[in-house]
Structure 1
Amino acid sequence: MARPKILVVGAGFAGVECVRRLERRLGSAEADVALVTPFSYQLYLPLLPQVASGVLTPQSIAVSLRRSGRFRTRIIPGGAVGVDTAAKVCVIRKITGETVDERYDHIVLAPGSVTRTFDIPGLADNARGMKTLAEAAFVRDHVIAQLDLADASHDEAERASRLQFVVVGGGYAGTETAACLQRLTGTAVKRYPRLDPALIKWHLIDIAPKLMPELGDKLGASALKVLQDRGVEVSLGVSVQKAGAEEVTLTDGRVLPCRTLIWTAGVAASPLIATLGAETVRGRLAVTAEMTLPGQDGVFALGDAAAVPDLAKGEDAAVCPPTAQHAMRQGRRVADNVIAALRRQPLRPYTHKDLGLVVDLGGKDAVSKPFGIELRGLPAQAVARGYHWSALRTNVARTRVLTNWVLNAVAGDDFVRTGFLSGAQGALRDFEHTDSYLSPEQVREHTRALTARPR
């Protein structure tokens, strides 16, 4: 008999942890495992702001999957664009553009999320995201380019607009991005004698009434003070009304001359989830505590794309937030449940104990809350970087990151453009590709002929 086929979609924290657990605990003859991902690496997202600011090199946080011990999982280089749960077929668009159908016996859906953009005029064409390695590289090139162009310009109005930067999103990603890039421009401007440092203005904007409310009032206030002491203007209860190429209009009526808008205001589940035609909770797939899809055989979902019940809160409607901490733990539990299903054993629900939160604001500034203990400054920085360093999967990645941190501490920031901006804008529209997914009807039509073939 043919071995069962396990298909894992997505190489984020959830998908990679699931694959690693399957490889460790499954016998080689028990099942064939395949992973669908456009890149053969796991991106360590929490350190992406440090790539954008040049503290870390892009390669440092792109952890190679093939360097991970005896990696035997088959990698399918592409992205899933549709799933037919009745036919047990996943439609995959390879990086070549070719569409293929992959049969499965068990599928683990961990496609992650996309940037939530809302219906704001001009946003997709003029804002830049911070969810991929390429976007971080584009943001870095773009910010440094604004300094170069402002330095070369004789137009005071152009200078002012090029030296004003807006980050939208007061969560961890937005706060760390604003903090790290502000330090970069603050250091770089010393090498531009024609530029007045007072012209460089950073804005952090969020519609919420508090900055990073998950940290609590005291630590949130500490992070806010760090930003304000650096000159970052933080506007809460405000969002973007319209995004132009040279100005940003805010909902409070202000119009900011600005050529750099970085959007980190929340995420939405991958459009792949909509192709299943199943029940969702705020766009995330509604699953059981065991992370199975009700009424569907062999379908598991987790991470940012699934509304996994948060049993630790004891509330009926509570679901786990889309964080790396949850994704990694869910990946391990899903792997155990897939193996249990293969061996006809009972599945176990996902439960967790919160480890705390860390926010790296660059330099000696950080706020952390490990196991409920509130820390600030250097102790918080040590905890934050220690946590990230230990969470990297390979010794090679740990060595690269540690080396970069030491080099940055000794030699300071580097602000050389790498040329990514040549002939490309690098806006949100260039990276999301949300129009490439199929509808549920298109998926069924696509797989109808395939299901008639013998397996």
Structure 2
Amino acid sequence: MAVPRILIVGGGFAGMECAHKLERILQRGEARIRMVTPQAHQLYLPLLPQVASGVLTTQSVAVPLRRMLRRTEIVPGGAVGVDTAAKAVVVRLINGETAVERYDHLVLTPGSVTRQFDIPGLDRHAVGVKTLAEAAWIRDHVISQLDLAAASSDPEERASRLQFVVVGGGYAGTETAACLQRLTSSAVKRYPGLDPAWIRWHLVDIAPKLMPELGDRLGEKALDILRRRGMHVSLGVSVAKATEDTVTLTDGRVLPCRTLIWTAGVAASPLVQTLDAETSRGRLVVDADLTVPGVDGVFALGDAAAVPDLAKGGDAICPPTAQHAMRQGWAAASNVAAVLRGEEPAPYRHKDLGLVVDLGGMQAVSKPLGVQLSGLPAQLVARGYHLGALRTLPARFRTGANWALNAVAGDDFVRIGFQAGRPATLQDFEKTDVYLGRDEMRKIVGDEASGITSAG
């Protein structure tokens, strides 16, 4: 009898936790576990703003999957199509070749991408904060703007280099703006030719409130902290147009700017659209046990799945957070094992433990278990939560050591220079144009079944 094949697509919170638990609950030989992921690390997304600002090193937030997983085989590539009828996933390997992975049980955790809108210039002049490469690029770019402004004798060029726009008043945008504004405020003191008043950070969001999930009191507290630091926060406003050196807002303002960071929401991975399955606002519809209805052997979870939130009830869907993704990974592993053993899968249920927002330094706002905190107590809760959520002791040690070093020695302003002078776009980092149409996907799967291979 053939060994059942479990294929996990995605190595983020949900995928890694699912694989890790499957290794613990399945006996050797009970199933073969393979994971498709282009990056052989699990990225701790909530701390990317601190990588972008240089507080943390990249190794602190990227846990090597081969360190965590012992029996799971890593397939180094990205899934670009899923043929559920043939129980096959088309994979674009990192060397450009195309492969077909067959499965008996599929766990889809492809995550999300930065949500884009049809705004002129956005595709050419904005970057997100979704990948390790983006965080590293943003750090180099922001520091290079200070260097270039200091070298320029043109007041207009200097003004455009010293204004920065972050779009999105959620956690990612607020933390990114807060951390980077703190970095430039510290760095400009080392540039005698630059007036600190020339540096302007803008946080823009179409919503009427900043981080509404925190509630009015904590949201207002976070807004007050940012504005007292000198941040220009514009609510009820978005971007109308972007060029190489300007950002035009919907209220008519034209800001001289060469740095546009886009964090205005996320969308499910385009891989979802390659399945012949129902979606809700771009996310795969799943039952409470994380199975995709009407599709044999497929589970979906994390940011790409509309998982019913049984703790809230009604039509509530679990928000796309790391907290839910990790726990859904555990639940999916238990349910896959149950199906393998002829048992009934269990519904996923988790009550949200609260929210933490690190604004850098000693400032934060947090809402653990509904308790509203700000200042140092909130910062201790936020950093304690992050340390607990990191999956290895080396990652926790590096992160704690980085925080301690930054608190004692302050910021450093070194840029690597590996992308000096190179423009970057959302597409460069998130590769959202690689996914296949269904006809092309089925042809590749059919050719593979006939013994024909493809490359490129």
CA–CA separation in structure 1 for the residues paired with 2:318 and 2:187: 40
- Counterpart residue number, 1:410: 408
- Counterpart residue number, 1:223: 222
- Counterpart residue number, 2:454: none
The answer to whether the Cα contact below 8 Å between 1:274 and 1:440 also exists between their aligned partners in 2 is: no
Aligned partner of residue 434 in structure 1, secondary structure: coil
- Counterpart residue number, 2:56: 56
The answer to whether the Cα contact below 8 Å between 1:35 and 1:76 also exists between their aligned partners in 2 is: yes
Matched, 1:206 2:230: no
- Counterpart residue number, 2:311: 312
Matches within 5 A, 1:179-328: 179-315=178-314, 317-328=315-326
- Counterpart residue number, 1:370: 368
Deviation at residue 449 of structure 1 after TM alignment: 3.4
Task: Give the TM-score of the pair, scaled to structure 1.
Answer: 0.98
Q: Could you give the per-residue CA deviations for residues 143-186 of structure 1, whole angstroms, max 9, x where no partner exists?
A: 00000000011111111111000000000000000000000000
The answer to whether the Cα contact below 8 Å between 2:8 and 2:34 also exists between their aligned partners in 1 is: yes
- Counterpart residue number, 2:19: 19
Aligned partner of residue 66 in structure 2, secondary structure: coil
- Over the aligned positions, Cα root-mean-square deviation in angstroms equals 1.0
User: Which amino acid counterpart does residue 41 of structure 2 have in structure 1?
Assistant: Y
The answer to whether the Cα contact below 8 Å between 2:12 and 2:43 also exists between their aligned partners in 1 is: yes
Deviation at residue 326 of structure 1 after TM alignment: 0.6
Deviation at residue 66 of structure 1 after TM alignment: 1.7
The answer to whether the Cα contact below 8 Å between 1:18 and 1:334 also exists between their aligned partners in 2 is: yes
Aligned partner of residue 358 in structure 1, secondary structure: strand
User: Which amino acid counterpart does residue 10 of structure 2 have in structure 1?
Assistant: G
Deviation at residue 423 of structure 1 after TM alignment: 5.2
Matches within 5 A, 1:409-448: 409-422=407-420, 424-448=422-446
Percent identity for Structure 1 against Structure 2: 70
Matches within 5 A, 1:322-341: 322-341=320-339
Deviation at residue 451 of structure 1 after TM alignment: 4.2
User: Which amino acid counterpart does residue 379 of structure 1 have in structure 2?
Assistant: P
Deviation at residue 71 of structure 1 after TM alignment: 1.2
Deviation at residue 42 of structure 1 after TM alignment: 0.5
The answer to whether the Cα contact below 8 Å between 1:52 and 1:140 also exists between their aligned partners in 2 is: yes
Q: Could you give the per-residue CA deviations for residues 258-277 of structure 1, whole angstroms, max 9, x where no partner exists?
A: 01000000010000000002
- Counterpart residue number, 2:167: 168
Deviation at residue 313 of structure 1 after TM alignment: 1.4
The answer to whether the Cα contact below 8 Å between 1:275 and 1:438 also exists between their aligned partners in 2 is: yes
User: Which amino acid counterpart does residue 447 of structure 2 have in structure 1?
Assistant: A
- Structure 1: unaligned runs, 5 residues or longer: none
The answer to whether the Cα contact below 8 Å between 1:56 and 1:405 also exists between their aligned partners in 2 is: yes
Aligned partner of residue 365 in structure 2, secondary structure: strand
Task: Give the TM-score of the pair, scaled to structure 2.
Answer: 0.98
- Counterpart residue number, 1:122: 121
Deviation at residue 330 of structure 1 after TM alignment: 0.5
- Counterpart residue number, 1:395: 393
The answer to whether the Cα contact below 8 Å between 1:170 and 1:212 also exists between their aligned partners in 2 is: yes
Deviation at residue 314 of structure 1 after TM alignment: 1.4
CA–CA separation in structure 2 for the residues paired with 1:283 and 1:429: 19
The answer to whether the Cα contact below 8 Å between 2:168 and 2:265 also exists between their aligned partners in 1 is: yes
Aligned partner of residue 422 in structure 2, secondary structure: coil
Q: Which stretch shifts more, 439-448 or 399-408? A: 439-448
**Runs of at least 4 residues off by over 3 Å:** 449-453
Deviation at residue 34 of structure 1 after TM alignment: 0.3
The answer to whether the Cα contact below 8 Å between 1:207 and 1:238 also exists between their aligned partners in 2 is: yes
Deviation at residue 439 of structure 1 after TM alignment: 1.2
User: Which amino acid counterpart does residue 243 of structure 1 have in structure 2?
Assistant: A
The answer to whether the Cα contact below 8 Å between 2:365 and 2:374 also exists between their aligned partners in 1 is: yes
User: Which amino acid counterpart does residue 20 of structure 1 have in structure 2?
Assistant: H
User: Which amino acid counterpart does residue 375 of structure 1 have in structure 2?
Assistant: L
User: Which amino acid counterpart does residue 43 of structure 2 have in structure 1?
Assistant: L
How many residues align? The count is 451
Deviation at residue 403 of structure 1 after TM alignment: 0.8
Deviation at residue 188 of structure 1 after TM alignment: 0.1
The answer to whether the Cα contact below 8 Å between 2:124 and 2:424 also exists between their aligned partners in 1 is: no
The answer to whether the Cα contact below 8 Å between 1:87 and 1:451 also exists between their aligned partners in 2 is: no
Aligned partner of residue 99 in structure 1, secondary structure: strand
CA–CA separation in structure 2 for the residues paired with 1:177 and 1:356: 20
User: Which amino acid counterpart does residue 70 of structure 2 have in structure 1?
Assistant: F
CA–CA separation in structure 1 for the residues paired with 2:360 and 2:108: 34
User: Which amino acid counterpart does residue 117 of structure 2 have in structure 1?
Assistant: F
CA–CA separation in structure 1 for the residues paired with 2:202 and 2:354: 27
CA–CA separation in structure 2 for the residues paired with 1:156 and 1:450: 60
